[in-house]
Amino acid sequence: MNISLVIPAYNEAQSLPELVAWIERVMDANGFTYEVIFVDDGSTDNTWWTIAKLHEKNAAIKGILFRRNYGKSAALYSGFEAAQGDVVITMDADLQDSPEEIPELYRMITEGGYDLVSGWKKERHDPRGKRWPSKFFNATVRRMTGIRLHDFNCGLKAYRKKVVKSIEVFGEMHRYIPVLVKKAGFNRITEKEVHHQARKYGCSKYGWERMMKGYLDLLTVLFITRFSKSPMYLFGGGGTIMFLIGGLITLYVVIRKLILQGNGLPVRDVTDQPLFFLALVMALIGVQLFIAGFLGELIGRESADRNRYLIDDKIDIDNIKISD
């Protein structure tokens, strides 16, 4: 099978028939073998009924139904697990992503050798209040992750099958799939400028709260990609610095008292000085951070035997001989 389309849908019953007809025209015109996997993320309208009716007309239309709304990340992950195509393409169900982009995305994966091709909605048909925060958000992610993409959150992306089978998308991490892909060892990541259409049916499912969630998730993904295997570098390093600062403050307070006493000047008890308590708090926090990092290292070492490492390929490994 050439292509698996994974399409999360939440209350998109109106748009699905038109979307499927458009996809069918593109697939037939290019001679692709394909499947379309709709993931109904707990819709409260007729989305699931519509998917069932579309399946009756075309067996390539498939569906996964969630009992309740779990979010886009869960929908994508379930779709990735079910996908069988050599190339997996994701898109939104609201008709803002154009199926006409599918042939070129497929070519870039199969002929261009890329692991991931991410869409870039250079010209967006969204309200200005949504576009500017998105630009700021994408600029921040580029700076912090080093991945040079303009639109991390674009729903239109293409992957090699091996890529989607090697990553786990959870929480709200669908915004950071390129980061997860790079962490899994797939570095051939690029982007393609894609056409963005104005919403035809319904309304956007995202509000301003996603900005706060986005930045919290960014901190999570940065920790996962940089410190999940060595938490001591983060917690132990920070704890050591805090402990040393607390120790230096304490040393300063004690030396200052001794100097004042030696010159016959009035002095305050060390325990009466605010600096002493500041030093004590910093030292205690430093010790706690160090212990947290140490426990994290122990847990990581204990689970290392259960880790599965991604093997990209093998070359007749059983017959390899090493000469003396």
The type of residue at 180 is: L
Mean pLDDT over 54-68 rounds to 93
Low-confidence winner among 30-34, 113-117, 205-209, 245-249 (lowest mean pLDDT):
205-209
**Cα torsion angle, 274, 278, 283, 288, sign:** positive
Among the four given CATH numbers 3.30.70.2860, 3.90.550.10, 3.10.180.10, 2.60.40.290, the one describing domain 3-227: 3.90.550.10
Confidence class of residue 298 from pLDDT cuts 50, 70 and 90?
A: confident
5 pLDDT higher than 50: yes
Q: How many CB atoms lie within 10 A of CB 157?
A: 27
Q: Over the stretch 7-38, which tens digit does the pLDDT of each residue have?
A: 999 999 999 999 999 999 999 999 999 999 99
pLDDT at 321: 46
**pLDDT exceeds cutoff 50 at 320:** no
- Rounded-to-integer distance, Cα 173 and Cα 214, Å: 9
Sign of CA dihedral 42, 47, 53, 55: negative
Task: State which of 17-26, 122-131, 135-144, 219-228 shows the largest mean pLDDT.
Answer: 17-26
Query: Would you say 74 and 59 are in contact if contact means Cβ atoms under 8 Å apart?
Result: no
Express as a percent the part of the chain with pLDDT over 90.
Answer: 42
**Reported confidence tier of residue 128, pLDDT bands at 50, 70, 90:** low
Which of the residue ranges 12-26, 169-183, 291-305, 310-324 has the most confident prediction, judged by mean pLDDT? 12-26
